[in-house]
Each structure stands twice: as C-alpha cells, then as structure tokens.
Amino acid sequence: MNAPFDTASAIGPDATVQPAPDHQVAVIGLGYIGLPTAAVLASYGWNVCGIDVSEKVVETVNAGGVHIEEKDLDRLVHEAIESEKLTASLEVPTAHFYMIAVPTPLTSENTPDISYVESAARAIAPKILPGACIIVESTSPVGTTERVGQIIAEMRPDLKVPVYGSQQAGDIALAYCPERVLPGKIVRELVQNDRVIGGVTPACATRAAALYKSFVEGDCLTTNCRVAETVKLTENSFRDVNIAFANELSVIADDLGVDVWDVIKLANRHPRVNILQPGPGVGGHCIAVDPWFLVASAPKVARLIRTAREVNDFKATYTERRIRGLVDAMPGKVALLGLAFKPDIDDFRESPALEIALDLARTRGQRIMVVEPFAKELPKGFAGTGAELVSLDHALATAEVVVVLVDHTAFKHLTPADFAGKLVYDTRGMLKR
C-alpha cells in the first residue's frame, strides 16, 4: 500500500479531483459492488486499497483473482493488481476518499441492519485526516449517512464533522451515493449510469461528485444525503411494485383460465402500458429486500410497497404449490430448469427458484433433477435429499415433468416440441417469448 497522505496534501472541497500519484481511495467491502468499484477506480488511475474482513477475499484479490462471477471483472481485477493500482487489505489505511460498500441485511423482522456500515465507520474514524471524503454506497435506510457522521464525530472530537441542514464547513466531507448497477452488467453500468450524489452539506456533495466525475460517463447529479438515500430505495421499490403487478396478474389469469403471456403481450401494445414479466417470485439481494427499508421508515403509510413485497413473496409459494400438483400427478422424474435468481448469472441469493427446488428436494428428493448451467454442483442444502444436478439433455430424455424456473440463454433454444409428452410448467413464459 502507498504511504498514507498527510494534512499538507489533503485536498479541499473545491478541488477538481483528478487521480494523482498520491491520491488514494479506500473501498470498504470487496463484495458485488465494492470489488468492481475498486477495480474500475484503479483502471482510471486511482491508487485503490480494497478492505475486507475476510482473509480469503483479501488473498484472492491480491493474487489477481475474484471470488464472485461477474462479466469482465476477472480481467479488470487482474489488470489492476498487475499495474499495482489495486491492493487488498484487512486494515483500513489513511486515504483521500473512503467508500463504504458493505452489506445492509434485513433482520427477521424485515427491518434494516446497518451494523456493518457502523463498523466500517468505526474502522475509518481513527484513520481520517482533514480533507478526507467519506462516501456511503451501501443501500441504507434514510438517516444512515448522518449516523456515520455521528460515529465519526464521537470518535474524533478533534475533527469538525459536517452536519445535515447546516451550511457550516467541516474538516471532512460526508456523502451518500447509491450503487445502481445491474448484476451481470456491473462493470459497464458503473461507468455508464447516471449517479445521484447526496451530500450532508452542498460542499460535501460537490467534493464526492468530483471522485465520481473522474470515471462516470453518465451525469453526476448532486442533492442532499436524505434525498439520495430515499432515491435508492424508491428505485427498487418501483421495480418491485411493477413486478408484483405482473405476478398478481399471472395468478388472476390462472384463475380465469387465460394465458397471461398473451394478455401482457397484447396489453403492452397500448402506448402507455408496459407490464413487466411474471416469474416464480422475486429474488436477489436488492429488489426483494430494499422495499422493506422504505416500509420500515414509514410503516403506517407505505401500504402499496408492503403489499407488493407480500404479493411477490406469495408468488413463490403459489408457484411451488402448482409444481407440487404436477409432481403428484405423475410418478416419474421431475426436471427443474434453473436455480439462479434471474437469467444468466451465477447468483443464487434470495432466489425463489432455489427455495422452491430445495423444498421439493426435501420431500421428493429421489425424483428431482436440477439443470443449472451456472452451478458446478448442487448447493449444500441439497445434500442427502437424493436430488441430482444433471445436463439439459439428460433431463429432457428422462423427465416426465419439466418446470422452467429460470430463462437462462442456455435454455432459450428449446421449443414446445422438446417437451412433447411431458407435463410442462413454464414460470417465465420462456416458450411463449
């Protein structure tokens, strides 16, 4: 790691921040967002130190490798390590910029757990020098950026920490800039997407924006931290509500005995209608989680957003019930196509397809075959169930019941003729689209 910078080289809020040999960015959390961000920053000339609590992650990255599957990420990390612009560490160094990209999980009561962000703030606080800029990227409930400021102020009474609503200049800058990238397109979207940058004060926003302007081709839009925090939760809630509409429509269509895919295709020919696609439920670490943060912030009034979450969760239960109906109607093998939370990624987090497959395996294990091109072996939960991971050809040759849970590209060449004589449930409408 490069030598820590001193007060003399600290850069003021108005500086046009261009990567200079002594400018460092510390990225806290080397996960799905932190690692790609660290590698992109390094590719734009910044000296980047990625920090993670996992020794294994730090070792892997320092060896030029990646622990997550994401298009173009392995090449980018490899080049960043080779060029010595990126290094990984267990310890937070002194840096010009700190980016917090740690998880904010949901508790069992559907409320946000910001303890990782708080720990990151505690780890950063002792290292801060005047002029540093701290940016929270983690998806967070409204008020989290101010909470980070509070922690730093408590631990560093020697520093003037900027306060929301006050125009008084601080010794440091503090801002919120939500990540908005789509898994599978992270590296491209990190550079191309517009960014919303919310400062605790306007000067903080300007300072943080200077970092993003050094690598973002989209617009860098500045606002205050509370608005930026709300924007992130709003984006994912908007998508969840719209997917819930499609999912509820699919259940209504089943009830009415009409084909939901035909309904959507034809309704979408109206110039102001754009219905999304139903599926077996909503997965991933974002859309299925973030709306709860907004509900938790305003539990009495966030009725539609709460209901959308419930509708999307119910769709997984409903899908499983329908599959069980088919499984019980036939004595033979059952092929489940896909486990990932959406097509063409190896990410199984919060995946309804995985949950459904696991439930079926637990009760009908010997009959269950899983086809998942993005898995080398079945996830641990399948151990002892008797379920097996098989090739698509094997599944099609032997199954009596076939369920499309994920419309991976590897399945898209299939036509109804490939399923002749079988009971088929296409939860994604792959065969119609």
Residues in region 130-149 near ligand SAJ by CB under 6 A: 139
276 binds ligand SAJ (CB under 6 A): yes
User: Which of these is catalytic: 232, 315, 333, 342?
Assistant: 232
Residue 86 or residue 288: which is nearer to ligand SAJ going by CB? 288
282 binds ligand SAJ (CB under 6 A): yes
Closer to ligand SAJ at the Cβ: 89 or 193? 193
Residue 3 CB, shortest distance to ligand SAJ, in Å, is 34
Distance CA 104, CA 270 (A): 39
Residue of the chain from 283, 291, 338, 429 that contacts ligand SAJ (CB under 6 A): 283
**Minimal distance in Å, beta carbon 242 to ligand SAJ?**
8
We find the least distance from the C-beta atom of residue 301 to ligand SAJ, in angstroms, to be 21
Whether the Cβ atoms of residue 72 and residue 109 lie closer than 8 Å to each other = no
Residue 410 and residue 339 in contact, taking contact as beta carbons nearer than 8 Å: no
Tell whether residue 206 is a contact of ligand SAJ (CB under 6 A): no
List the one residue from 70, 146, 179, 426 that touches ligand SAJ (CB under 6 A).
Answer: 179
User: Interacting stretch for ligand SAJ, rule CB under 6 A, among 70-78, 175-183, 259-267, 394-402?
Assistant: 175-183
The yes or no reply on residue 320 touching ligand SAJ (CB under 6 A) is: no
Q: Which of residues 222-241 bind ligand SAJ (CB under 6 A)?
A: 235-236, 239
Which range of residues in 2-10, 40-48, 275-283, 383-391 is near ligand SAJ by CB under 6 A? 275-283
Contact between 284 and ligand SAJ by CB under 6 A: the answer reads: yes
How many other CB atoms are found less than 10 A from the CB of residue 61? 25
Residues involved in catalysis: 232, 286
